[in-house]
Amino acid sequence: MDSKTGYCKEPIPKTRKLIIESCELAQRKHKMIGLFEADVTYARRKFNTYKAQTGESISFTGWIAACVGKAVEEHKQVHAIKIGNHFLIFDDVNIAILIETVIEGKAYPINYILTAANRKNVMEINHEIRQAKKKKEEDYTKASENRNIGLLLSLPKFLRDFFFWRKTRRDPLFIHEKMGTVSLTSVGMFGTSGGWAIPLSIYPVTVAVGGISEKPGFVQERVEKREYLSLTVTLDHDVVDGAPATRFVARLVELLDEGYGLDAILDDLNRNNEG
């Protein structure tokens, strides 16, 4: 710190370029934004039961990804992309999940593409997410993702616009395979209080997972302490209207409320233990 000025000055990392440019692109989108809560009390009990019996935990992010994949599969218009005068609606739901790595000595979020999330069960997704997060800095530093990002950052902005950002707007296979059509991001997960994030996103669907808060809630005729997960869902208004968007969100919340896929995991576990 410079004692005369009272502040320090450091160069902006090259890695911020893509983040800034993606925000600029996101601001040109016509977004619908909704703030929701899902009662995850039942699901959290299942998570605790599984851990008590196995000593291992199920990825909460992976489970939410399974719920998102299922909901999008049932309401595919929400992850459509608009190119020219056509909507492109993909069969598989590819979800971009942010995983932090290190580039140029700085922490940097990159997208891990969970392909065909709608065709995988919770444990398959759990295993895939766990394996991705196990990658250490020394492994990821040499990964092709990092090398590609480094090359991209070395280009002048007009070349990045032409070779990269143009593809994110016009090349359906690049969008689906390399970017995904759904984004899942977590902020403050398992926090002591709820809270919503309002993300800037270039995706047709973005689900931002906030904190979990304890509140009273009705269970049949009783009032009980419940755990509510804060969710922010943004959708592209160019490809979907309010009514189908509402049906998609309602289905997603329903899947979270009912603990989608978790009963089957515990049933399999019990059968294996009995065998």
Mean pLDDT of the chain: 85
109 vs 182 pLDDT, higher one: 182
What is the count of structural domains for the chain? 1
- The answer to whether 231 touches 38, Cβ cutoff 8 Å, is yes
Instruction: Quote the pLDDT of residue 137.
Output: 45
For residues 59-88, give the mean pLDDT.
94
For residues 40-58, give the mean pLDDT.
93
For residues 209-219, give the mean pLDDT.
86
134 vs 46 pLDDT, higher one: 46
Work out the pLDDT band at 194, boundaries 50, 70, 90: low
pLDDT in tens, 153-168: 778 888 888 878 888 8
What crossing angle do the helices spanning 242-257 and 60-74 adopt, rounded to 10°? 140
Minimal CA–CA distance to 99: which of 6, 3, 186?
186
Instruction: Name the 3-class secondary structure at 251.
Output: helix
Residue 172 domain-assigned (yes or no): yes
Structure tokens at 98: 């942010």
pLDDT in tens, 229-264: 999 999 999 999 989 999 999 999 999 999 999 999
Residue 129 domain-assigned (yes or no): yes
Residue 171 domain-assigned (yes or no): yes
CA distance 202 to 200: 7
- How far CA 114 is from CA of 17, 99, 177, 254, in Å, comes to 24, 12, 10, 22
Residue 155 domain-assigned (yes or no): yes
Beta bridge partners of 86: 83
Instruction: Name the 3-class secondary structure at 123.
Output: helix
Residue 3 domain-assigned (yes or no): no
Instruction: Quote the pLDDT of residue 191.
Output: 47
CATH number, domain containing residue 140: 3.30.559.10
pTM for the full predicted model: 0.86
Residue 108 domain-assigned (yes or no): yes
Q: What percent of the chain has pLDDT over 70?
A: 88
Instruction: Quote the pLDDT of residue 157.
Output: 83
For residue 18, what is the enclosing H or E element? Answer: helix 16-26
Residue 11 domain-assigned (yes or no): no
Instruction: Name the 3-class secondary structure at 173.
Output: helix
- Containing structural domain, residue 60: 16-274
Instruction: Quote the pLDDT of residue 129.
Output: 86
Burial 161-170 (b: 16+ CB within 10 A, else e): eeebbeeeee
Cα-only R_g, the chain: 20
Q: What percent of the chain has pLDDT over 90?
A: 47
Residue 9 domain-assigned (yes or no): no
pLDDT at 12 over 60: yes
Burial 98-113 (b: 16+ CB within 10 A, else e): ebebebeeeebebebe
CA distance 256 to 205: 17
Ranked by mean pLDDT, the top range of 47-56, 145-154, 195-204 is 47-56
